[in-house]
Structure 1
Amino acid sequence: MLQQPILILLNAKNYMLPCLNKRLFGIDCPGCGLQRSVHLLFHGEFLAAFKMYPAIYPILALLIFLVSNIFMKLKYGHQIKLFLMLLTAGTIILSYIIKMNNLFT
């Protein structure tokens, strides 16, 4: 029974959603590459996952913190959560600007 979900995760490339923004306007959105990056992480290709979508690691850190914060409350949990959210948003915005700059030059 446990094998079925693992096989789906390993073959997730067949189930990825297309980017509506790219389909309609022809340019990437700030989230383009996230699904492929997660797919690469499941396959152990950590550097390729970062190159595909640099915000994957701040997002992962934020998700791990949010889940762990449910079970154990930290004294400075709010500040850590705010820092991780800003780091994630900043990484997404900066990588998108760099990607678009390289696309149009």
Structure 2
Amino acid sequence: MTKGLEDFMLECTNKKIFGVECMGCGIQRATALLFQGEFVAAFKMYPAIYTLFLLAALVIVNFFIKFKYDYQIKIGLLIFNVAVIVVSYVIKMSPYLS
């Protein structure tokens, strides 16, 4: 099933032009790994995959059900996601920086 998904994955323009991965590189492969049931491999591929799905689920649920402090929770999760993405990117790029 995911072999079909891999045929439709988009190529990273940043990596194609500059030869360096962007902060979003790996999210498509991590999603495909999740569909295959490879949860640890998905996390290793793109560490923010689970927090992004949590944020997306919260936004979708909050669209239908309003609850107290929803804005603060969404902003907190958004900041946390950005931090996870940036930290994982810096760790991934650290061999190239030295």
TMscore range, shorter length? over 0.9
1:10–1:43: 8 Å Cα contact kept in structure 2?
no
Q: CA deviation at 1:11?
A: 2.0
Offset from partner CA, 1:47-103 (integer Å, 9 cap, x none): 000000001011001000000001110101011101110011111111001100034
Q: What's the TM-score once normalised by structure 2's chain length? A: 0.94
C-alpha RMSD of matched pairs (Å)? 1.3
The alignment-based identity, stated in percent, is 46
Q: CA deviation at 1:27?
A: 0.5
Give ranges in structure 2 of 5+ residues lacking alignment. Answer: none
User: What amino acid is aligned across from residue 30 of structure 1 in structure 2?
Assistant: M
Distance 1:102 1:59 in 2: 26
Q: Does 1:102 align with 2:95?
A: yes
Q: What's the TM-score once normalised by structure 1's chain length? A: 0.88
Give ranges in structure 1 of 5+ residues lacking alignment. Answer: 1-6
Corresponding pairs, count: 98
